[in-house]
Amino acid sequence: MKVFKFGGASVKDANAVRNVCDILSLYKNEKIIVVVSAMGKTTNLLEKIIETKNNLEFEELKKQLFSFHQKIICDLNLQKETFSMIEKATNKLKLSYKIDKKNNQAIYSAIVSIGEYLSSNILSCYLKKQNIKASWCDAKSIITTTEKHIDSSIIWPLTQQKFNDIVPPLFKKNSILVTQGFIGKNKLEETTTLGREGSDFSAAIFAYCGNADGVYIWKDVPGMLNADPKFFQNTIKLDQISYREALELSYYGASVIHPKTIKPLHNKGIPLYVKSFLEPKSKGTIINSSKDKDRLVPSFIFKHDQILFSIKPKDFSFLVEENLSDIFARLSKINAKINVMQNSALSFSILLDRRKINLNEILSAFREDYVIRYNEGLELVTIRNHDQKTIDFVTKGKRNILEQKTRNTIRIVLKDLKQ
Ligand code: ASP
């Protein structure tokens, strides 16, 4: 059995859906679990819908969601089969808009999951129409999580048990099973989500439970590259890397794979293939246990729009374990995700993504007991397998604000001198 994961870009319009169907026909007679994300940028749109407090804007965004999916189903000639489904989904939005937003994490997951339900239904209807035998499966009936609604953790024994109960009978009927990435359900029967871009992780969960012989992540790039082609001209494809190297790269922010994907695959020795949905027959990248090719090329990971905070105890006391744990507790309470941290005798520095934080929330979490300052407009560059040439290349014309270096990895916080 294989697990295929198709992200938003690979189902962004009718042609992309047709292409998924073509890829599946290359793997005839194989048992495949197809894990699909929301189409195009639907999850971002749903997040906007959740956030808006303005009724007019809500109606406008809802219309966008409706017509985006309507166009795809019309282009695929699926009107009859799927039209009522989009209507139902948009009505669900209406209900959520009216209810009290107090428990907004639960509402968030219930609403964003609509994107994956729409895409998986559209894809499975299209496959059936093309005479590809596929069963639709609700990921929530298998993936069981802790109660937390966002970034939920998996309860593995229950997930495994449900997988064993549900998946083999479905495979007896059809060799393809279409399901949703990103979503699960907690013991209270509420929808939960696994974190943005979490569909890769869903694919790994299904692969782990089914002892798959491979996970295939289909992307719009030829494989795992040594840098993001949006920021870097001459990228090199990594033909093969180890689980460890893939985990390090995704942890530092290489956006090709969700960092949580690797562990379940590593634990069962299941290879992960990153392949191009535009050139499905070309080789892509294979991630497995072999470390032979890990050090062949330097890899670069850029994070823009970073903000560096320096936090100092007000009474000029040393930073010791006690106040460090207090700082971490405050950060975790507001869900701040740290990209880099460093301490000196009197100050603790943390680097965060400007777009993922609420500045006032951070400042007010500390102001009473600490002096907190910040420096905006920074860039974080991580280089794996660095040498002086690569360091000079990324730091050219920029001021080095903070640097951390080990044998394999260097992380540099930079300020553009032109700013
Ligand atoms: N649709 C979700 C997101 O955009 C999950 C995923 O695509 O992996 O984050």
From the CB of residue 77, how many other CB atoms can be counted at a distance below 10 Å? 11
Same domain, 307 and 197: no
CATH of residue 349: 3.30.2130.10
Following DSSP, what letter does each residue of 239-294 receive, concatenated?
Answer: SEEEHHHHHHHHHHT-TTS-GGGHHHHHHHT--EEEEESSSTTS--EEEES--TTT
Same domain, 312 and 179: no
CATH of residue 146: 3.40.1160.10
> Hey, which of 12, 39, 41, 43 would you mutate to test ligand 1's pocket, going by the most ligand atoms within 8 Å of its Cβ?
43
Tokens of 415: 């300020």
Does 105 have pLDDT greater than 90? no
Contact 224, 285 (CB under 8 A): yes
Calculate mean pLDDT across residues 409-414. 97
Question: How far is the CA of 373 from the CAs of 158, 168, 351, in angstroms?
Answer: 46, 56, 12
From the CB of residue 71, how many other CB atoms can be counted at a distance below 10 Å? 12
> Which of 219, 239, 256 is the last residue in one of the domains?
219
Reported confidence tier of residue 229, pLDDT bands at 50, 70, 90: confident
Predicted pLDDT at 273: 98
> Which of 177, 197, 219 is the last residue in one of the domains?
219
Same domain, 330 and 200: no
Same domain, 316 and 211: no
pTM of the model: 0.90
Single-letter residue type at 233? Q
Q: Does the residue 235 lie in any domain?
A: no
Q: With a 6 A CB cut-off, is 115 part of the ligand 1 pocket?
A: yes
Q: Does the residue 257 lie in any domain?
A: no
Same domain, 323 and 200: no
> Which of 219, 240, 269 is the last residue in one of the domains?
219
Q: Does the residue 285 lie in any domain?
A: no
Q: With a 6 A CB cut-off, is 119 part of the ligand 1 pocket?
A: no
Q: With a 6 A CB cut-off, is 181 part of the ligand 1 pocket?
A: yes
Same domain, 79 and 168: yes
26-30, 250-254, 397-401: segment of lowest average pLDDT: 250-254
Q: Residue 402: give the domain boundaries.
A: 299-416
Dihedral through CA 148, CA 256, CA 415, CA 332, nearest 10? 10
Same domain, 328 and 204: no
- Residue of the nearest CA to atom 2 in ligand 1? 197
Atom of ligand 1 nearest to the CA of 197: 8
Same domain, 106 and 197: yes
Look at the block and give the residue holding tokens 């392949």.
Answer: 275
According to DSSP, the residues that pair with 354 across neighbouring strands are none
Q: Does the residue 351 lie in any domain?
A: yes
Residue 279 CA to ligand 1 center (angstroms) comes to 22
Atom of ligand 1 nearest to the CA of 199: 8
Q: With a 6 A CB cut-off, is 38 part of the ligand 1 pocket?
A: yes
Predicted pLDDT at 80: 73
Same domain, 71 and 213: yes
Q: Does the residue 66 lie in any domain?
A: yes
Per-residue pLDDT reduced to its tens digit, 310-333: 999 988 888 888 889 999 999 988
According to DSSP, the residues that pair with 415 across neighbouring strands are 378, 399
